[in-house]
């Protein structure tokens, strides 16, 4: 892939979110990724304000690419993606292969950087990967709240997407999150 092709690729703008759920307002994976990056940046600002060192650029970059494989897989329902370990491994295996092919058009050091970030996001060991994942959960919660506010009762039902994301956020185990949870409004 030529660098220009990579730079002008808008595939994620056409990949819909919530493909299997009835939504009032359609959302794209690109829109979701933007909000995940925006939220990750705000989380980093709060951490920095508390004197906690964080690599903000790395967290934001991770947030921007966290769903990039959905350009070829589509937005697979969260429960399938997270509960079926084999499916998740296969998606990531293909994604890493495609990333390394796609990123060959980018100067090599950047291609390696993005491939490494994608793997690091999956491991969730670094604070930056955890921040990107928490931002992903908060963005999902915001999408659900928006749907409920627009009249989508399905999203607000017990056991529905809104309660799922609310429960995930309540259960976030990271010590840094517990320290700033209240400042974030959770």
Provide the pLDDT for residue 73.
67
The residue written with tokens 């084999």 in the block is 86
Provide the pLDDT for residue 110.
64
Nearest to 72 by CA among 129, 14, 133, 32: 14
Count CB atoms within 10 A of the CB of residue 152: 21
For 164, the token pair is 């799922």
- Enumerate residues 6+ apart whose C-beta is below 8 A from 185: none
Provide the pLDDT for residue 158.
95
Provide the pLDDT for residue 9.
82
Each residue's pLDDT tens digit in the chain (186 positions)? 566 777 788 888 888 888 778 899 999 999 999 999 999 999 999 999 999 999 999 999 999 988 877 777 667 666 556 667 787 777 777 666 666 665 555 655 566 787 788 889 988 999 999 999 999 999 999 999 999 999 999 999 999 999 999 999 999 999 999 999 999 999
List Cα–Cα distances, 86 to 6, 82, 129, in angstroms.
29, 10, 21
- 3-184 sits in which CATH class? mainly alpha
Report d(CA 29, CA 20) in Å as an integer.
14
* pTM: predicted TM-score of the whole model, two decimal places: 0.87
Report angle CA 18, 24, 30 to the nearest 5 degrees.
45
For 67, the token pair is 């769903």
DSSP letter string over 5-45? HHHH--GGGGSBSSTTS--SS--BHHHHHHHHHHHHHHHHH
Provide the pLDDT for residue 176.
97
Provide the pLDDT for residue 99.
64
């Amino acid at each position: 892939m030529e660098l220009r092709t990579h730079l002008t690729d808008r595939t994620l703008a056409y990949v819909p979110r919530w493909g299997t759920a009835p939504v009032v307002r359609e959302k794209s994976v690109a829109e979701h990724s933007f909000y995940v990056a925006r939220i990750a940046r705000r989380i980093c600002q709060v951490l920095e304000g508390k004197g906690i060192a964080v690599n903000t650029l790395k967290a934001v970059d991770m947030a921007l690419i966290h769903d990039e494989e959905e350009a070829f897989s589509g937005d697979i329902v969260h429960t399938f993606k997270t509960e079926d370990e084999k499916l998740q491994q296969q998606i990531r295996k293909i994604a890493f292969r495609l990333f390394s092919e796609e990123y060959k058009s980018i100067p090599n050091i950047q291609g390696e950087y993005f491939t490494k970030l994608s793997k690091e996001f999956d491991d969730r060991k670094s604070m930056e990967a955890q921040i990107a994942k928490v931002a992903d959960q908060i963005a999902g919660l915001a999408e659900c709240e928006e749907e409920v506010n627009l009249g989508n009762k399905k999203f607000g039902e017990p056991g529905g997407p809104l309660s799922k994301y609310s429960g995930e956020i309540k259960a976030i185990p990271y010590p840094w999150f517990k320290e700033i949870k209240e400042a974030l409004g959770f």
